[in-house]
Structure 1
Amino acid sequence: MPLIEFTEKGLYCRQGDFYIDPWKPVDKAVITHAHSDHAKWGHKYYLCHTFTKPLLQARLGDNNYQSIEWRETITMNGVQVTLYPAGHIIGSSQVKLEYNGEVWVFSGDYKTENDGISGAFEPVKCNVFITESTFGLPIYQWQPQESIFQKIRAWISKNKEEQKNSVLIAYSLGKAQRLLQAVAPFNETVYLHGAVYNMHQAILSTGIQLPPVMRVNTESNKNDYKASIIIAPPGADGSSWMRRFLPYETGICSGWMQVRGNVRRRNADAGFVLSDHADWDGLLSAVKATGAERVYVTHGFQSAFSRYLNENGIWSAEVKTEYGDEEEEKIIEETNTGSAT
């Protein structure tokens, strides 16, 4: 019997009688991170990392939460469950299951470059590895984070010289916090959309230190912003909320910006290839580092990535899940919705 089964509710461990990131309500759920495609409302019990708990509380309200640290093991019906850093966002974790000498690992979402705030991705030796493949094509190759930060800072400096505001479009949980690191050298207060600000406050409650920010006041007008830096979620772009920042330029931060046409399609002034997911090389290095005999590939370009693994001597199969509708998968189309969330 496999240690993890792929069911209509999600990834199920029958031996332990719990699910990992289930997309339908269950009794017991182990949660890899707080993005809404992996953390759903309605479970009776949630197990997550310590940093993830306040984020789940902010998004899902009060529930029966239990939190543990990375590399801390608890036993659920004889199955040993351990969380390891995934490097995706703050608190994001891989889930290691061990039972009768067999080890399975579910990666959740992850990136292999250490972004300085999310915890460095840590490969875990296992028999079976279940990996995401959001950017599982060779075209997706990321530059080092600091190189992207330098491009963002140069763009902001140009905007300041032209007396324009700089509006960075980025997901409210994950990328927005990385951008605060990018703009820190300007040594000024950064303005946040309400959705980003709410996540900022939840993260501060974990004890993590972040640069000073100010929430955009709903009563504010364009006279309140002069060559300022603003961070907003994809849904805010193109909405009436943006008018108060005129004159401004927008910079979309997404792995999808690797494809140059996406910048034009979004009518963005700039596109920065900043992703919270592993690129092609990162995915390959992660898979090889686990030493897994079998690899299941979930959301993204799972067909192409799985086929490549098989052609290169690593047994692999595709798995259909309901993940991928949270950040990178939707950032392009959500930019047109006008939603403020």
Structure 2
Amino acid sequence: MSLIELTDHGLYCPQAELFIDPWKPVDKAIITHAHADHSRWGMKHYLAHHHSEKVMRLRLGSDISLETMEYGEIMDINGVKVSLHPAGHIPGSSQVKLSYKGKIVVISGDYKIEDDGLSKQFEPVKCHEFVSECTFGMPIYKWEPQAIVFASINAWWKQNTEQGRNSVIFSYSLGKSQRIINNLDASIGDIFAHGAIWNTNQALISNGVPIRDIPKVTAETPKSRFKGALIIAPPSAMGSAWMKKFAPFRTAVCSGWMNIRGAKKRSAADIGFVLSDHADWEGLITAIKSTEAEKVYLTHGSTAAFGRYLEEVEKIQAVALETLFEGEAADLADG
């Protein structure tokens, strides 16, 4: 008996007749989180966590058919018990637990195990089969505690202000930007958001997510207000005419890919900070072992190498799934 199978529309649970994060239009879809590679337009009905609601409506349309659940709430669909559990990736990110006739499968979506103070921390869920990303599934990826990273970001910002320069940080509009905003030292200067990030902030705040409410950059904002300020912008704004209003400025990119020297050079920013909303090598192993799963399905990332490690070292059966999920692959564009 299989509770999940991979189809040309995405991961499918035949017993419940629903898809998890499908990439083509279907009748019923459970969405693990609101990033664009997991939450797509065109489904007849969506099911997601409460904190994903306003952002999904912002991105997919206010009139979508969307039902929400809280973590731990159980819904019976054709005899399959469905529940959502914290993934720690971004606000509202969820692992989907499917239970049917004694078998448990968990589809984790994207996740990280460090408590970021914004998302509900990753919760290990015991299961027989576990679907895991492995975006950063190689030993070279090892994250420092976020407190150290944010101390470096604040020190960089302060140094820029002392040199008479403004600061611009490029990061994902959903999840990472809010995480950065909440950890900036506001005593250094004012903080502003690009319109895309400000709109996302407002959607999350209206959903009860605790985010520092900062002003939006508008055409009417006097240039003098940006003196010594830090501006959060999506990577798509890099090199655009929109940036001219902040001159003179220094730029930074926040991404797990900044762990690689070549990626720092290709980013076109002045500096790169290693900050990811995905689990690093040790985080992936810790999360997978904590589920006690007998079989692990791997999506997007170093599936072959990570799968070999799981089978040869951890003695866990691993199967690679060819999905359309991108993880942090598009991190230097926008997500």
Aligned to 1:22: 22
> Cα RMSD between the aligned structures?
1.3
Percent of pairs with identical residues: 50
Task: After TM superposition, list the pairs within 5 Å mapping 1:52-63 onto structure 2.
Answer: 52-61=52-61, 62-63=63-64
State the distance in 1 between where 2:171 and 2:269 align. Answer: 13
Aligned to 2:150: 149
Aligned to 1:287: 288
Q: TM-score, normalised by structure 2?
A: 0.97
Q: CA, structure 1 residues 223+185, in 2 after alignment: closer, same or farther (shift >3 Å)?
A: closer
State the distance in 1 between where 2:270 and 2:132 align. Answer: 34
Q: TM-score, normalised by structure 1?
A: 0.95
State the distance in 2 between where 1:233 and 1:206 align. Answer: 22
Aligned to 1:256: 257
State the distance in 1 between where 2:187 and 2:303 align. Answer: 40
Amino acid of the structure 2 residue aligned with 1:276: D
SS at 1:186 equivalent: coil
- Report the alpha carbon displacement of residue 208 of structure 1 after superposing the two structures with TM: 2.2
Corresponding position: 1:32 with 2:32: yes
Corresponding position: 1:302 with 2:280: no
Amino acid of the structure 2 residue aligned with 1:43: M
Q: CA, structure 1 residues 189+160, in 2 after alignment: closer, same or farther (shift >3 Å)?
A: closer
SS at 2:283 equivalent: helix
State the distance in 2 between where 1:96 and 1:271 align. Answer: 36
Amino acid of the structure 2 residue aligned with 1:90: P
- In structure 2, stretches of 5+ residues that fail to align are none
Aligned to 1:318: 320
- Report the alpha carbon displacement of residue 331 of structure 1 after superposing the two structures with TM: 2.1
- Report the alpha carbon displacement of residue 270 of structure 1 after superposing the two structures with TM: 1.1
Say whether the 8 Å CA contact 1:133–1:300 is kept in structure 2.
yes
- Residue deviations 1:48-87, cap 9 Å, x none? 0010111111111121111010011101111000100000
State the distance in 1 between where 2:263 and 2:104 align. Answer: 40
- Report the alpha carbon displacement of residue 307 of structure 1 after superposing the two structures with TM: 1.2
Say whether the 8 Å CA contact 1:28–1:44 is kept in structure 2.
yes
Say whether the 8 Å CA contact 2:97–2:104 is kept in structure 1.
yes
- Report the alpha carbon displacement of residue 185 of structure 1 after superposing the two structures with TM: 4.3
- Report the alpha carbon displacement of residue 189 of structure 1 after superposing the two structures with TM: 3.9
Say whether the 8 Å CA contact 2:158–2:188 is kept in structure 1.
no
State the distance in 1 between where 2:241 and 2:188 align. Answer: 28
- Report the alpha carbon displacement of residue 5 of structure 1 after superposing the two structures with TM: 0.5
- In structure 1, stretches of 5+ residues that fail to align are 336-340
SS at 1:305 equivalent: helix
Amino acid of the structure 1 residue aligned with 2:46: Y
- Report the alpha carbon displacement of residue 209 of structure 1 after superposing the two structures with TM: 2.6
Aligned to 2:81: 80
SS at 1:202 equivalent: helix
Amino acid of the structure 2 residue aligned with 1:130: V
Say whether the 8 Å CA contact 1:173–1:196 is kept in structure 2.
yes
Which sits farther off after the overlay, 299-308 or 83-92? 299-308
Following superposition, which runs of at least 4 residues in structure 1 exceed 2 angstroms of deviation? 184-189, 218-224
State the distance in 2 between where 1:224 and 1:189 align. Answer: 8
Task: After TM superposition, list the pairs within 5 Å mapping 1:1-341 onto structure 2.
Answer: 1-61=1-61, 62-186=63-187, 188-220=189-221, 222-312=223-313, 313-324=315-326, 328-332=328-332, 334=333
- Residue deviations 1:169-207, cap 9 Å, x none? 100100000111221442754110011011000001112
